[in-house]
Structure 1
Amino acid sequence: MSEKLAPERRTGIEILLPGPVPFAFPEKDADPSPAGRDYPMADAETLLAAYRKMVLGRRFDEQANALARQGRLAVYPSSLGQEACQVAAALALRDDDWLFPTYRDSVALVSRGIDPVGILTLLRGDWHSGYDPVAHRTAPQCTPLATHAPHAVGLAHAERLKGTGTVALALLGDGATSEGDFHEALNLAGVLRAPVVFLVQNNGYAISVPFAAQTAATSLAHRGVGYGVRAEQVDGNDAAAVLAVLATAVEDARTGGGPWLVEALTYRVGPHTSADDPSRYRSPEESEPWRARDPIARLERRLRASGLLDETTVAETADRAEALAGDLRARLAAPPEPDPRTLFDHVFRHPTSQLTEQRTEVEAAWRP
């Protein structure tokens, strides 16, 4: 690396370490505030937007699960219970920032404004990612764990060199932090001070492997200090807290503060995918405390207590969610009709003579 591009080295471990407990806003005035940390609460408009997007996102998630059971999708990985993380990730970004999602982050994509049918296209056996990544500044959903994390670092560093002020946010699960790509991405991000934020949704399980069997570390956030990456832990079911931490992290990265690692403690209420049977590795009682901490209900209580939410808004939001689900059902009623000629698209910019010959043979044999 040239001296011109070498990043400034951070000094002092304290600035890198997460707080002693996951950050959360007090639910009542009498509750203690987390010591030593001051993340500003989002304004009323943003909190209401988060509520609406979480309700819509959950209804989308429910409908996608139903479509998978009906055989209209090959499989669907639910994010039930993780809506606060998904929606906050989308709201923390500007339109010109980039989101790097995993296969479980469909609700984040809905919140980003991507067509729900396009989001599910990949899961019904159609081509590509189902949406234009450049138009939406959203990378294709990544199924291999953590392989998109280095991509997020590379893009963020390139945008930094161009001086665009663009930030990349990579969504990961706790299982992804056991992969080499995750550690390589953090190391490179720390060295380059790339404007990238890693949001790890620690939902307790990597498929069927519980968190305690994945690592002996007390938290995933503490891994950041080893790479010179600032880290924080947050209550992943407190939408206001996740919004506050991510907004701070994104803007700090944007203004030259370097990368962040945010660990959101949440829970995967549903199965790993629609093809999974979670009763084989956990008891039904285990999820009950987490259902009581439902992120939508928590945000609704906060908004009602502040006088920001009334029955009219709740009913209107529910109606919009049902309309979204109905539109999704209608548009996915028919199976996709693949065109075999697309096999030859996007292979080379200038097709070879062999590809041209093969395409001609397919066109002669295929009749729509």
Structure 2
Amino acid sequence: MSRAALASLKDFLQADARRLGFGGTGVADASGNLLAGERLADFVAEGRHGTMGWLPETIDRRRSPRDLWPNVRSIVVVAMNYGPDEDPLEILDRPERGAISVYARHRDYHDVIKGRLKELAGRLIARARGAGLGEHDAKVFVDTAPVMEKPLGELAGLGWQGKHTNLLSRDFGSWLFLGSIFTTLDLEADAPGLDRCGSCRACLDACPTHAFPAPYQLDARRCISYLTIETKAVIPREFRTAMGNRIYGCDDCLAVCPWNKFAQDASEAKLIARDDLKAPRLDALLALDDAAFRALFSGSPIKRIGRDKFVSNCLIAAGNSHEPEFAPQVAALLHDAAPLVRAMAVWALFQLDRREALRLRVVALDRETDETVRSEWHALPESQD
């Protein structure tokens, strides 16, 4: 292939990516194994993936891009900024409100980015054909295939994986959505990003549940994002108080990063937070039935976890609020059809009104058949002292 034509094609790629709203674009060589694949293997071997069974099933394909698609020569990695227009940690001081991770406060980023990536990839292949580079192909991925976007983003020069394991950028700080284009084109690779975390520990020290065993290591089983989104199991009691009012994800390790002084507010309209999701009242969320939940979160990534899981997260937040006004609503959810909701209602009611929770226990145990819910009732102390 003509190196001059490929260089011109790469210039076109970067300009077109900017036109489509991507703040950063880099190219990685698809050959060889990713060193991060070894870290992933250790992560899985130690059980830190929790209930995410799809991770051990896809380790081999994640190690090498060519195990996923043998014909790939280059990987284009793009980044889109979704920085908030206010301090996302301020809501943690408003216990009657629910804290939703910044990335989930508007449209599902998968839909937004994938559409742009498909357009970018299509124009790239057409441009290559018009430049006499022959017939080529491309595949796009946005967090839905066994692709290690963060290590590839570092390899493509977009930034580096910080001590919190997320990709950091000198231009956008922590707030980055990533996507990739695998292509048969042999584009010139960019220089890898350099680690600039230095001696900083801000992200590690900020974690409410101590989910980082060491710098650059994460134990997902302790991570609030995993607990509120990924696992369908009852959240362990040891983490519930530390969750505070976080009902979907957690931004603490991202928000405290000093590199965010270079971050910009999201410019893509579809990623700017909806006002009704910046600080929603917990009582309104606890009242959601399935239809209302689906309507409220239509087009949002929150919809994927389902009403029962979401309301169970909200119950933990209500319990942590210590607001007595929530107690009657929480008590009503002891009769919910979903065992997960009933289980968390037991815990939340005890936090809000110990006398009432203990009064209801005997009657509740007489009628309750679900073992998970029964275990929550049995876990309550014998007295309110």
TM-score exceeds 0.5: no
TM-score for the superposition, normalised by structure 2: 0.26
The one of the two structures with greater contact order (alpha-carbon pairs below 8 A, sep at least 6) is: 1
Whichever of the two has the greater Rg, that structure is: 2
